[in-house]
């Protein structure tokens, strides 16, 4: 079965600093990978996705992520964080076939706090 | 437009009540999902509908009953819930079951 690990439960950065959120996945085949962001009490907003092709993917709000098959990682980065980026970030892996076709498995999430 | 709408936004119900959650999308998506999210936890998949047929049921208790009346609508019927069922219930849809899932804002359910 697939799984996702986000090692950092909580990260605090200063506004304007760079950001990297870590994500490691476990899946036997080529994964579909996603990063979502959630503000308190809200739904999830898609930041970016990787299905195939270029391993560096660009998303909304200035975020990017790099798929590294050798490290089973899909880390999220942003060069300069804004106060409005404070939220919870979820990495997720999707299944492309078999009995779990369509299942999205989420990591535990990383809460981002931004200091002025 | 990637909008998924959910009603109601908030729902408070007693353990003997019957209520329903509603989800709607008009993007022509053929896969729809229900997730349950407890506080400070990630969303957990409950059900997947693909082309209006139930394709995944993640061993959800029978007090939760999903229904997909047509390709745009997804309901979740609730009956005899327990206080531990209180959570944010999220609906999502995607073009097909392997495409990007777009989430609605959720229904905050409180069971008294």
Contact B98, A102 (CB under 8 A): yes
What distance in Å separates the CA atoms of residue B108 and residue A80, rounded to the nearest whole number?
33
Q: What is the mean pLDDT of chain A?
A: 92
pLDDT over 90 (residue B89): yes
DSSP string of B56-112, one letter each residue: EE-S--TTEEEEEEETTEEEEEEES--GGG-EEEEEEEESSTTS--EE---EEEEE-
| Start-to-end C-alpha separation, chain A | 41
Contact A76, A65 (CB under 8 A): yes
Cβ separation A49–B43 shorter than 8 A? no
The pLDDT, as a whole number, for residue A27 is 83
Q: Which residue has the tokens 């939760």?
A: B64
Better-scored residue on pLDDT, A99 or B7? B7
Of A20-34, B5-19, B30-44, B64-78, minimum mean pLDDT range:
A20-34
Q: Tens digit of pLDDT for each residue in A27-52?
A: 877 788 999 999 988 899 999 999 88
CB within 8 Å of chain A, chain B residues 14-73: 31, 33, 41-45, 48, 50, 55-56
The terminus-to-terminus CA distance of chain B in angstroms comes to: 37
In this prediction, residue A30 carries a pLDDT of: 74
Asked if B43's CB is within 8 angstroms of A107's CB, the reply is no
Q: What is the pLDDT of residue A1?
A: 78
Q: Sorting pLDDT into bands at 50, 70 and 90, what band is A23?
A: very high
Q: Does A39 touch chain B (CB under 8 A)?
A: no
Partner-chain residue, chosen from B48, B106, B108, that has the shortest CB–CB distance to A103: B48
């Amino acid at each position: 079965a697939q799984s996702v690990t986000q090692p950092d439960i909580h990260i605090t950065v200063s506004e304007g600093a760079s950001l990297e959120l870590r994500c490691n996945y476990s899946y036997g085949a080529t994964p579909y990978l996603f990063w979502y962001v959630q503000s308190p009490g809200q739904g999830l907003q898609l930041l970016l996705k990787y299905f195939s092709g270029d391993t560096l993917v660009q998303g909304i709000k200035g975020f990017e992520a790099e798929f590294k098959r050798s490290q089973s990682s899909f880390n999220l980065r942003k060069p300069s964080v804004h106060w409005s980026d404070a939220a919870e970030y979820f990495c997720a892996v999707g299944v492309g076939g078999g009995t779990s076709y369509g299942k999205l498995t989420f990591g535990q999430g990383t809460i981002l706090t931004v200091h002025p | 437009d990637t909008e998924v709408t959910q009603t109601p936004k908030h729902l408070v119900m007693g353990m003997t009540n019957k209520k329903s959650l509603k989800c709607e999308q008009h993007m022509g998506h053929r896969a729809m999902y229900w997730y349950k999210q407890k506080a400070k936890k990630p969303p957990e998949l409950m059900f997947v509908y693909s082309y209006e047929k139930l394709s995944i049921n993640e061993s959800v208790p029978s007090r939760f009953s999903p229904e997909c009346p047509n390709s745009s609508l997804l309901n979740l019927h609730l009956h005899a819930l327990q206080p531990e069922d209180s959570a944010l219930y999220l609906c999502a849809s995607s073009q097909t079951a392997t495409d990007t899932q777009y989430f609605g804002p959720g229904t905050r359910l409180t069971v008294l």
